[in-house]
Structure 1
């Protein structure tokens, strides 16, 4: 019986975000939080 195996390593480095990317991410998080609040208030009235 022959057992052939391949071993390799994957290294992941975290990408450094630019000021523009950071601001864009903040805007997305704000919109998502606003949508969560709207969904919760809609469920309360049902």
Structure 2
């Protein structure tokens, strides 16, 4: 009788972001929301 066992070990480490990266992500999110609002307002005018 042969018993084959395979084990995996997964480590998840939280990534720390820099202040510049956090500012960039916030700006991208703000621009995305503005464009989304603009698209919605254009849709209602048509």
Query: Do the structures match in fold with TM over 0.5?
Result: yes
Aligned length: 46
Deviation at 1:10, TM superposition (A): 1.1
CA RMSD of aligned residues (A): 1.7
Single out whichever of 1-10 and 29-38 deviates more from structure 2: 1-10
Scaled by the length of structure 1, the TM-score of the pair is 0.79
In structure 1, the gaps of 5 or more residues are: none
Could you tell me which runs of 5 or more consecutive residues in structure 2 were left unpaired when the two chains were aligned.
none
Structure 1: 4+ residue segments shifted above 4 A:
none
